Amino acid sequence: MISVKKSARSEAEAAVVTDAQSDPYDVEKCARWIRINALKQVCLQFPDSLLPDSVEVALRLEKSIGQKLYILGDTTCGSCCVDEIAAQHVNADGIIHFGHACLNPTARLPIFHVLPRKQLDTIEFSNEFERVFSDRTKKIIFFYDVAYAHKIEHVYDILKPMYKHLILSKLNCTSNVEYTDIKTSSASVILGRNYTLENGYNVQDYEGFFLGEEGKTLALLAMSIPVKRWCYLANNKIHEFEALNTPWLKRRRFLIEKLRDAKIVGIVVATLGITEYLTAINTVKKALRQKNKKSYLLNVGKINPAKLANFPEIDAFVVIACPENEVFDSRDFFKPILTPYEVELAFNSAREFCSQYFMDFRQILPGGSHYVNFKPSMDSDVSLVSSSVRNCEDDALCTDQMNALTVRSSGTVAIGKAGAQYLQERSWKGVEQRLGEDSVQPAEAGRTGLAWEYTNETLSIDKNNIQTE
């Protein structure tokens, strides 16, 4: 995290952009938001691609409001998520988030989004839209990428007179594009977007359109909202999108079967800012406990294969994260990576496979739009991966002591029998306290040089004495 202070740079150098219409960072709107909310400690969060401009933007904004700002130099989990945890290091009372945003709701601080801007030929687009949706009586729900939010008012004004049943979604945030902003309860928001259907109709009566290219946002919307069909815009042409029966979903079903076979499951916390993430953790823990699965709770910051490979005793990982987190698409991990919804599909007999797939864990929590009471099934079945019989009484794990702290040895505290024996038998261990066991030693210089030949190695050979024939 970098504190940005006043510098001696010239005003001409600090104020690169003066025209409000051409300013991609909307500095004046940011300054107005800070003044209206009377904020004193504000953090600016940029994605990696925009960090080169961060100092310039901060200097201009500091000049406008007359107070110091902070730049978040690195994000805790992902660039699309608001990093409230990093902002708390300076006791921030507000965050301005720049760039693409997943729009997940936060609970601690007020947030102002400065959304990116992509160019769009509205006339060409409207002609293409009329060509594809030639039947103007169709019911259409119109979604859009956040980068087109600045154009959506003009697009909607063109299309609405022609399409009587056109419904425009709204972004559930406070941003530099006021036309699209709306604040509603989290239960009625899907992936940061809200829409209201016409009376007498349900979502299956509509078609979905996404103003944006094929990508993560479109895939998540298509899996969550069961409309008749989905279309999207790419290279100024509208294409149909197939959300179900894709290779990605087929692989997810295979990973669910691997989760059913798992004996030990790791619950990885990859977000500390999304509302109700603690409820999601407790829901997953409760489901695993009812199915006699041992579980660890892990917080390793940004997830990568090397970090999770440090826990070879864990058979599968359930990640509590932003729906747009790319970890669910990666094939580099040594063990299966699953979502809270897939835990429900694996162990909740009341949850059935359907045409929807909920990557946003808030949708399946108590009070969510797709919550189902957990009903574990203890009937024996056969694994489709290993062909072994599951849920036998002989395989039931001891979970009656999981809530009791047990001291196994000096410096080691385990919860019941949850992997304590395995940790004791490891060939390697982490940094452990040995208070009173070792005598005090002065600090010494460590090894230097290259790994293949350190300078303090006794077998080091003086290359100058090597004679060649």
CATH of 122-241, one of 3.40.50, 2.30.30, 2.40.160, 2.60.40: 3.40.50
Task: Decide if pLDDT at 13 tops 50.
Answer: no
* Structural contact between residues 271 and 277, judged by C-beta atoms closer than 8 angstroms: yes
- SS3 (DSSP) at 69: strand
Q: What is the share, in percent, of the chain residues with pLDDT greater than 70?
A: 82
Per-residue tokens: 41: 């400690």
Task: Decide if pLDDT at 10 tops 70.
Answer: no
- Phi (first) and psi of residue 372, to 5 degrees: -135, 130
Confidence of residue 280 (pLDDT cuts 50, 70, 90): very high
| Domain spanning 27-114: CATH 3.40.50.11840 | yes
Task: Decide if pLDDT at 157 tops 80.
Answer: yes
Among 32-36, 93-97, 396-400, the minimum mean pLDDT is found in 396-400
- Mean pLDDT within 221-240: 90
Other CB atoms within a 10 A radius of the CB of residue 177 amount to 21
Residue 303: per-residue pLDDT: 87
Place of tokens 């009471």: 373
From its phi and psi, is residue 401 left (phi > 0), alpha (psi between -120 and 50) or beta? alpha
Confidence of residue 21 (pLDDT cuts 50, 70, 90): low
Residue 422: per-residue pLDDT: 61
Give the domain ranges of the chain.
Answer: 27-114, 122-241, 246-390
Q: What pLDDT, in 10s, does the model give residues 253-275?
A: 889 999 988 999 999 998 887 88
Q: Which fold has domain 246-390?
A: Rossmann fold (3.40.50)
Q: What pLDDT, in 10s, does the model give residues 36-82?
A: 999 999 999 998 888 889 999 999 999 999 999 999 877 777 788 88
Diameter over CA atoms, the chain? 94
Among 180-194, 297-311, 343-357, 405-419, the minimum mean pLDDT is found in 405-419
Nearest Cα residue to 310 out of 300, 301, 295: 300
Task: Decide if pLDDT at 20 tops 50.
Answer: no
- Mean pLDDT within 88-100: 91
Q: Which residues pair with 267 in a beta bridge?
A: 297, 318
pTM for the full predicted model: 0.76
Cα–Cα distance, 402 to 158 (Å, whole number): 61
Per-residue tokens: 161: 């007179």
CA 118 to each of CA 19, 149, 235, 417: distance values in angstroms, whole numbers, following the listed order? 18, 9, 13, 55
Residue with more model confidence, 151 or 186: 151
Other CB atoms within a 10 A radius of the CB of residue 347 amount to 21
Residue 463: per-residue pLDDT: 52
Residue 75: per-residue pLDDT: 74
Cα–Cα distance, 375 to 348 (Å, whole number): 5
* Structural contact between residues 96 and 44, judged by C-beta atoms closer than 8 angstroms: yes
Residue 465: per-residue pLDDT: 53
- Mean pLDDT within 428-454: 76
> 122-241 and 246-390: same fold?
yes
Task: Decide if pLDDT at 394 tops 50.
Answer: no
Q: What pLDDT, in 10s, does the model give residues 328-384?
A: 888 889 999 999 999 999 898 888 777 788 888 888 888 888 888 888 877 777 777
Place of tokens 């009903």: 375
Residue 95: per-residue pLDDT: 93
- SS3 (DSSP) at 335: coil
Q: Which residues pair with 233 in a beta bridge?
A: 238
Task: Decide if pLDDT at 14 tops 70.
Answer: no
